[in-house]
Amino acid sequence: MIKNIDIADIKIGMYVHDLNCDWTSHPFFRKRFLIKNDAEIAKIVEAGIHELYIDTEKGLDVSHARSVDEVNASLQQQMIEAVTSKPAPIITLSFAEELGRANRIKSQAHALVKTVMQDVRLGRAVELEQVEPMIESITESVLSNSGALLTLLRIKNKDDYTFLHSVSVGTLMIAFCRSVGMDMETIHLAGLGGILHDTGKALVPDEVLNKPGRLTEEEFDIIKRHPRDGFDILSRTEGISEIPLDITLHHHERVDGSGYPHNLKGDTISTLAKMAAIVDVYDAITADRCYHKGMAPTDALRKIFEWSKYHFDPKLVQAFMRCVGIYPVGTLVLLESGKLGVVIEQHDSNLLTPKIKVMFSSKSNTYLQPEIIDLSRPLGFGGGDKIVRHEAPEKWGINPLRFM
């Protein structure tokens, strides 16, 4: 059985199933392993891990520990309690109406970030005039229907990952800042910080940046330089303001002090840098990388919610869940009726009752004539169904985007 244990209960002879930390923070750990000596325990403690998952069939057990299913069920319940009754942002265009513009923005922004990174490699400074109009376009798209661009940006492949990740983080920052009611000036600067946050990665050699599999500690030390390098590079940009510099320098800080480069703790990290840390990890763990498949957004949110006990600001994590929804647009969900559908729009006031396009019957294993249902409405009025859980698209061989 997979069980969740406190770091205080860790012992030699236990089999680590999951270190319960985002793998972008500790890419040098083996994924699963038997603990053989105290040095391994010390390394785990040193990495700032507070709780982890063990496999009790492959190693020692802790009888009082909760199983992974119990932990997940309780987290899901807490997530639901945290976000229900809070309004989602108002949408002015439908997903389909926004999709065309969002598609153009995705490819233009990708090209822009690629150029910026190449310029930085050649020793050139980043010019704000190049980037600012793109932030404006992204903001317009987010204000119309944030689901469209965010859904498109989840699709990345290994060659364009670094660039599209920057665009994603910029877009998520804009959506997040807006959903917590920040002013337009701050939203703009946070978007700029998001799109530029990994500029320092331009100085990381490709073979380290795109290395499939685990990094050595030396390689990870090279990656860890990027916030400082990015800050130095952007400090040379004419007209740059405090907010993008702060986001660039501090997006890898963690509230328990386990982050880098400055091991800042709690409120010594600014709100915007804490928000950037959340969206950065969310985008990184939902993306498909060459060495692992990305998590479904709902699972990623649950993980971040779990980690928020130590690494993130719990209030901001809740605010982020309200921003993207527990079942973000584009998520494949199983309904009580046995139908499968894809979330196409969040409901204004209840994130558990979005609009769904149903298109598959899990009972008869056949495609259905696609139909839009509104879970906030009763049976006979276009609703009358309920989400049981989200499903992995691979499990059913369904590409949710095809139905949007």
Q: Which residue has the tokens 């600014």?
A: 270
Strand partners of residue 343 = 356
By beta-carbon proximity to Fe ion, the closer residue of 198 and 391 is 198
Give the CA distances from residue 265 to residues 268, 270, 360, in Å, rounded to whole numbers and listed in that order: 6, 10, 48
Tell me the site size for Fe ion, rule CB under 5 A.
2
By beta-carbon proximity to Fe ion, the closer residue of 22 and 198 is 198
SS3 string, 123-160, reads: CCCCCHHHHHHHHHHHHHHHHHHHHHHHHHHCCCCCCC
CB of 209 to Fe ion, least distance (A): 11
CB of 252 to Fe ion, least distance (A): 6
Cβ atoms of 375 and 354 within 8 Å: the answer is yes
Stretch binding Fe ion (CB under 5 A), from 32-40, 117-125, 190-198, 364-372: 190-198
By beta-carbon proximity to Fe ion, the closer residue of 247 and 375 is 247
Strands 66-67 and 2-6: antiparallel
Task: Answer left, alpha or beta for residue 167, where phi above 0 means left and psi between -120 and 50 means alpha.
Answer: alpha
Stretch binding Fe ion (CB under 5 A), from 63-71, 81-89, 273-281, 341-349: 273-281
CB of 304 to Fe ion, least distance (A): 14
CB of 202 to Fe ion, least distance (A): 12
By beta-carbon proximity to Fe ion, the closer residue of 187 and 278 is 278
By beta-carbon proximity to Fe ion, the closer residue of 280 and 313 is 280
By beta-carbon proximity to Fe ion, the closer residue of 280 and 345 is 280
Cβ atoms of 233 and 288 within 8 Å: the answer is no
3-state DSSP call for residue 344? Answer: strand
By beta-carbon proximity to Fe ion, the closer residue of 191 and 341 is 191
CB of 195 to Fe ion, least distance (A): 11
Could you say whether residue 391 binds Fe ion (CB under 5 A)?
Answer: no
CB of 21 to Fe ion, least distance (A): 15
Stretch binding Fe ion (CB under 5 A), from 34-42, 178-186, 242-250, 277-285: 277-285
Stretch binding Fe ion (CB under 5 A), from 88-96, 130-138, 192-200, 324-332: 192-200
CB of 168 to Fe ion, least distance (A): 9
By beta-carbon proximity to Fe ion, the closer residue of 227 and 354 is 227
Torsion 384-387-393-399 (CA) sign: positive
- Counting beta carbons within 10 angstroms of the beta carbon of residue 239, is it exposed (0 to 12), middle (13 to 18) or buried (19 or more)? exposed
H/E stretch holding 390 reads strand 387-390
State how far Cα 241 lies from the chain centre. 26
Give the CA distances from residue 281 to residues 77, 82, 287, in Å, rounded to whole numbers and listed in that order: 22, 20, 10
Stretch binding Fe ion (CB under 5 A), from 174-182, 272-280, 350-358, 371-379: 272-280
Lateral strand order in the sheet of 355-361:
366-374, 355-361, 339-345, 332-335, 387-390
3-state DSSP call for residue 295? Answer: coil
User: Quick one: which of 55, 229, 253, 280 contacts Fe ion (CB under 5 A)?
Assistant: 280
CB of 283 to Fe ion, least distance (A): 7
Burial 213-232 (b: 16+ CB within 10 A, else e): eebeeebbeebbbbbebbbb
- Helices and strands (H, E) in the chain, number of each type: 14, 10
Strands 66-67 and 332-335: unpaired
Stretch binding Fe ion (CB under 5 A), from 56-64, 117-125, 196-204, 294-302: 196-204
Could you say whether residue 98 binds Fe ion (CB under 5 A)?
Answer: no
Could you say whether residue 198 binds Fe ion (CB under 5 A)?
Answer: yes
**What is the x/- site pattern for Fe ion, positions 232-261, by CB under 5 A?**
------------------------------
Stretch binding Fe ion (CB under 5 A), from 6-14, 132-140, 193-201, 365-373: 193-201
CB of 201 to Fe ion, least distance (A): 7
By beta-carbon proximity to Fe ion, the closer residue of 219 and 280 is 280
CB of 248 to Fe ion, least distance (A): 8
The residues of the shown chain that bind Fe ion, judged by CB under 5 A, are 198, 280
